[in-house]
Amino acid sequence: MRRVYLDNNATTPVLPEVLEAMRPYFSEHFGNASSIHHHGQETRAAVDRARESVAALLGCRGSEVVFTSGGTEADNLAIFGLANFGLGPGEHVITSTIEHHAVLNACKHLAKYRDEYRDETGCEVTYIPVDGRGLVDPADVKRAIRPSTKLITVMFANNETGVVQPVAEIGRIAAEADIYFHTDAVQAAGKIPIDVNKIGCDLLTISGHKIHGPQGVGALYVRKGTQLEPMLYGGSHERSRRAGTENVPGIVGLGKAAELAIAGFERGDDLKMAAARDHLERELLEIEATGLNGEGATRVPNTTNIYFDSIDGEALVIALDLKGLAVSTGAACSSGAIEPSHVLVAMGLRPDRAKASIRFSLGKQNTAEDVDFAIDLIPETVARLRELSPVWPKSAVSR
């Protein structure tokens, strides 16, 4: 049976070039990058080359790149690193209602003592809403700033809808108020160009497995002069910001994936992917009682999120998987959740419509034939599930 994978926002397949670059560092080049002998210096050089490649992707210095185990650790290091160093009791953090749980749950923990124990010395968190397109209004961010505000953390691109936030404008607001600004760019990196200086952020997160690199590696951009307290204590790795022996094969893979992403922008791969996404989107929106989540907003070129009224999203995912097509209802780390997507609910969708929404996300490996396969398969599958739905006849006439 043919299988087509359109869930690249969950994870991407490792590109052959990335795997080939990593391969020697599992065997012949096995040294500890902190050792001073030949084997260690050989791997240290590989780590340094990868650091420069990631820096080139982000428009920063190599010395400003800290390697981590992935996006979640990088988000946590950004938030708790500042909390332990620059955020004191009673201080204030601003975030949005549509963040990845790596940020939302970190912020929730910051506010735990204030919210659960009524301890006024705990940090306070303000959650900025989004409009029906899934966009944060920078004016809302500005209005939320207090004298005690020390950190703003708003994602670059949403993992479920692909909607790109006005991060450069938020960065200007943060800079004018002398507030740290962190952005989770896990779903933006490799899909749209990133320049940390144009954004004006102090901290920015990326993850290897979202850009056709390996799982288990990520990076945090830390602007020169930004002080972070480490979460892990041990050696002085990563300029004393992240203790632990470096994952050399993973870091090499992330570096190679960054190089390939840069080359892809030069070839216009992002424009070709946007055209393929738009073709898929147009065809699926021809199905009765469907709609685009995030319509009217700028999105990353690979992502579309569409609701199919009177359909249970999980049932549609399973039915399509049985026919060879992999898609998702939203964030992979929330799969199996009974509650509707917090992102779509924050955008104003009814719970039933949020649960009827499907995310399609393309990757570099996808072809025009893959998109056509999905276009051929989805309408008939939706029609079949609607035949079985007790609410379809009633809801089919209203959108």
Burial class (CB in 10 A: 0-12, 13-18, 19+), 390: exposed
Which one from 60, 107, 201, 333 is the annotated catalytic residue?
333
- Rounded to whole angstroms, the Cα distance separating 33 from 43 reads 5
Task: Assign 3-state DSSP to the chain and report helix, strand, coil percentages, each to 5.
Answer: 45, 15, 40
Residue whose structure tokens are 């909390």: 83
Let me know if 333 is a catalytic residue.
Answer: yes
Question: Both tokens of residue 311?
Answer: 């359909």
CA triplet 114, 98, 129: central angle to 5 degrees? Answer: 75
Cα gap 346→36, rounded to integer Å: 52
Distance CA 155, CA 177 (A): 19
Are the C-beta atoms of residues 7 and 362 closer than 8 Å to each other?
A: no
Contact yes or no for 246/67 (Cβ under 8 A)? yes
Burial (CB < 10 A; 0-12, 13-18, 19+), residue 284, is: buried
Half-sphere exposure of 228 (CA within 13 A, CB side): 32
Judge contact between 48 and 238, C-beta under 8 A: no
Strands laid side by side in the 357-361 sheet:
290-292, 303-308, 357-361
Provide the token pair at 130.
Answer: 């989004």
Give the C-alpha distances (Å, rounded to integers) separating 361 from 21, 153, 237.
Answer: 26, 24, 35
Buried b (16+ CB within 10 A) or exposed e, 319-332: bbeeeebbbbbbbe
How many residues appear in the chain? 399
CA angle 381, 347, 205 (to 5 degrees): 95
Active-site residues, by number, are: 333
